[in-house]
Structure 1
Amino acid sequence: MLIAEFRIDSPLFRTALERAPEVTLSIEEHYAAPEGIRVLFWAAGDGVSDGEFQSALEADPTVTESTQIAETPSRTMYRVTVSDEGEAGTTYREWSALDIVSVDITATNEGWTGRLRFPDREALAKYRAALRDRGLEFHLRSLYQETGGANGATASLTSNQHEALVTAYESGYFDVPRGASQPDVAAQLDIASQSVSERLRRGTKTLVERTLIDE
């Protein structure tokens, strides 16, 4: 597996972040819903607690709906539905098609940065080509091979995958017969059932690759 550290100049949430320039977004999840692509993220910084960022988000043309779903003293979690205009700036569908996994992503008024996990160089090349066709600049900062094997299996999981797998295990999702359903796990994590399914599938795939497959 390859880890790519990157920066992308995406129009997604650009208006909101320009109006609240001190805010930083930590992206938790992308998933497809009947209404369109949805994004879960934490927002932190000046402008969040006083409602400035919320107002800016409501005026952002890349957003059709935004909901606050959690709050701590230092940050707020939002669930956002992306508009047709905003979808041109998100690469979630490419992630799904090319089996790409988000490790961590941050967005500010200066752009999007983070790390993505690619299955191979071919997937990376196709991803860059897809962005180029949309007029999105993908700046590759570094590229390195992920190592690990059995001892590195847990480290290879994203924090979201790790949390979903542990929650599912503790709730009895893997028991026979099952002690909890997928919606039950989703309710505990306060995310969509489809999002839980994706985290469990990707996390399980990573564990199998790292512990059962003989390279």
Structure 2
Amino acid sequence: MATVAEFTGRSSQFPIGKVFAEYPTVDVEIEQLKQSDTSTSIYFWLSTQSTLPAVSELSEYGIFDSVKLLDTLTDKSLYSARLNNDHESICVGITKAAVEFESAKTIANEWTFRLQAESAEQLSTFQAYCQKNDFGVRLTRFPTQIQIFNSQEYNLTDKQREALALAYTEGYFETPRQITLEELGELLGITQQAVLARLRNGEKNILESTIVLSVNSESI
């Protein structure tokens, strides 16, 4: 069964994002990707309260082979752009990982990509591609198949499960640790003290539901 995961990254951390980082007041929403063996066509909306970049401006950055204005509405405009697959990009990574693109948009200069996959391996392939090319994107919402813990089975709250899953995936439990509490807090939108509390309470619930429950059952 296909599941959906979300990856986020700052605009300055990958090629397409860098183009639109030059226009911080412009919101971007990629609606569709059409991929072939040699190129990827991107269909995206741009909206702003100021002036939208001209097609000629977007074409100058080198990441796009061509850019066209397709339609203009009251509050936004629809464009198409063609990427050469010889250039490494998030779109090429999506193709190589064989995941299905759902959507992408910017919020406060941060991108969120929604991808659909048939397996966790496909998502790992996409993440590995991004890491290899220094595209700073992180998995921030998890599909059912790779959720680390089941909330009901282990008496976890959704927030505890989310914190534990993110900490595990990002290497918080590795030696040495790959991410700090502060960085986890930034991803979750909470303080590092709140992250620590969720991790501790979640671990306590897991222990009570597994080891402690098992010991008590054996003593009866």
Same fold (TM over 0.5): yes
Whether the 8 Å CA contact 2:40–2:83 is kept in 1: the answer is yes
User: In the TM superposition, what are the counterparts of 1:56-95 in structure 2 within 5 Å?
Assistant: 56-83=57-84, 87-92=87-92, 94-95=93-94
1:138 aligns with 2:141: no
Task: Say whether residues 1:23 and 2:22 are aligned partners.
Answer: no
Q: Distance in 2 between matches of 1:52 and 1:100?
A: 30
Count residues in correspondence: 141
What is the match of residue 119 of structure 2?
Answer: 120
User: CA offsets, 1:29-65, max 9 Å, x none?
Assistant: 2223587322111111134xx4535353133221221
How far apart in 2 are the matches of 1:108 and 1:53? 21
Q: Which has the larger radius of gyration?
A: 2
Unaligned stretches of 5+ residues in structure 2: 146-220
CA distance in 2, matches of 1:119, 1:111: 26
- Root-mean-square deviation (CA, aligned residues, Å) is 2.7
- In structure 1, how many angstroms separate the alpha carbons of the residues matched to 2:39 and 2:102? 23
Query: Counterparts of 1:194-205 in structure 2 under 5 Å?
Result: none
Matched residues in 2 for 1:139 and 1:97: separation? 18
Question: 1:91 aligns to what SS in structure 2?
Answer: helix
Q: CA deviation at 1:83?
A: 4.8
Query: Residue by residue, what CA displacement relative to the aligned partner does 1:102-154 show, whole Å, maximum 9, x if unpaired?
Result: 222114672421321111111111111122121212211120328xxxxxxxx
TM-score, normalization by structure 2: 0.55
Given residue 71 of structure 2, which amino acid in structure 1 is its aligned partner? A
1:37 maps to 40
1:29 alignment partner AA: Q
- Shift, 1:13, TM fit: 4.9
- Uncovered stretches (5+) of structure 1, i.e. residues with no partner: 147-215
Which residue identity lines up with residue 14 of structure 2 in the other structure?
Answer: S
Instruction: Provide the C-alpha distance between the structure 2 equivalents of 1:35 and 1:96, rounded to a whole number of angstroms.
Output: 11
The higher-RCO structure (CA 8 Å, 6+ apart) is: 1
Contact preservation (8 Å) 2:105, 2:113: yes
The 1:41/1:14 distance shift into structure 2, 3 A limit, reads same
Provide the identity percentage: 15
Is contact 1:13-1:63 (8 Å) kept?
Answer: no
Q: 1:96-175 to 2 correspondence within 5 Å?
A: 96-107=95-106, 110-145=109-144
